[in-house]
Amino acid sequence: MRKRMALCAMLALPALLLAPASEAASPARQSSALPADPHPAIWKIADADTTIYLFGTTHALPKGFRWQSPALKKIVAQADELVLETVDSPEADKKAEGAVDDTINPVVPDRPIVARVAPDKQALLKRAIARTDFPEQFYDAMPTWMASLVLAVEDMSKDGLSHDNGVEAVLQKAFARAGRPIIAVEDGSAVLRQMHGLSEDAQRNMLEDTLEDMDATEPNIPNESDRAWAAGDVRQLDADFTQEKLGAELYNVLVRQRNIAWTGWLTNRMAKPGTVLFAVGAGHLAGPDSLQHLLSGNGIAVSRVD
């Protein structure tokens, strides 16, 4: 998976990061990104009266991308409640905005964004900014980690990807229409504040990795990672969501800490009867610190069902 996709897949904070995206992909991107028989990976933990399905999601997709398998549709119909990383709501948006205000004012580094990357990356950064709808001064006012994510999301939108087409948005609408509960497993604003605690070296590496990835990716080229995800092929995810790929600090904040917390949530939820669809970024179900591995380490059997 491309680094920009990996970062955004791990951090589902649409109120902050997902700027308006184009409503339709180009014909080349749209037609080439339609799996004929999607079967994204799904796991299950269960006891006598509780079943929780673990579904790895992609937060932004091109319009018309097929990802709903028969198995997933059946689970959606049966589930009593939907659990997401964060839930789109006015209250969540307000908390995210407050977290952004806390990180930007008054502690943003007093350095232009271009000066925060190595000299040999400055031309890449200028080209990346030129592709967006914002001037350099817009990014100058941000912490380095935030500029990295905003650049990544801006680039994704130019490539025909939209949060409105993403898995969470579609699932949330379906459960809302059915009048079934939708809850968040974490406070997205707290994750924002943890990101702001990354060292400047970690933030610089994050931005430089994003720039290299954007430079190596042509707009409107079919995304093989999305297609592999829709086919249930988790090998690429396992290779991408590692400490070596993301860096120790970022991996700890985005993957390890959150997965440990969610493992505790899932373990406690098993004490309450019902059927739950637990839909979080696919990267949380990949790699050495995946939810499956952590749950198994706690003595909870995990089985793949699709």
Q: What average pLDDT does this structure show over 5-30?
A: 39
**Alpha helix (H) residue ranges in 131-199:** 136-140, 144-158, 167-177, 188-196
Residue 113 confidence (pLDDT): 95
pLDDT at 204: 95
Full-model pTM: 0.84
Q: What's the pLDDT at 86?
A: 86
What's the pLDDT tens digit per position in 30-83?
434 456 789 999 999 999 999 999 999 988 888 888 999 999 999 999 999 999
The rounded distance, in Å, linking the Cα atoms of 42 and 44 is: 7
In angstroms, the CA 245 to CA 289 distance is 14
In the numeric block, the tokens 């009593």 are attached to 80
Output the CA torsion sign for 19, 105, 210, 169. Answer: negative
Residue-level pLDDT at 245: 85
Structure tokens at 10: 């791990």
pLDDT tens figures, 291-303: 999 999 999 999 9
Specify whether the CB–CB gap between 75 and 279 falls below 8 A. no
Higher pLDDT, 116 or 149: 116
Could you give the CA distance from residue 270 to residue 274 in angstroms, rounded to a whole number?
Answer: 9
* Confidence at residue 101, expressed as pLDDT on a 0 to 100 scale: 58
Which pLDDT does position 30 carry in this prediction? Answer: 43
Q: What is the mean pLDDT of residues 125-151?
A: 89
Region of residue 166 (left: phi > 0; alpha: psi -120 to 50; beta: else): beta
- Tens digit of each residue's pLDDT (9 = 90 or more) over 226-278: 888 999 998 888 888 889 888 999 999 989 999 999 999 999 999 999 999 99
* pLDDT reading at 159 higher than 90: no
- 109-119 tens-digit pLDDT: 568 999 999 99
Q: Are strands 274-281 and 61-62 parallel, antiparallel or unpaired?
A: unpaired
pLDDT tens readout for residues 179-220: 999 999 998 777 878 888 899 999 999 999 889 877 766 555
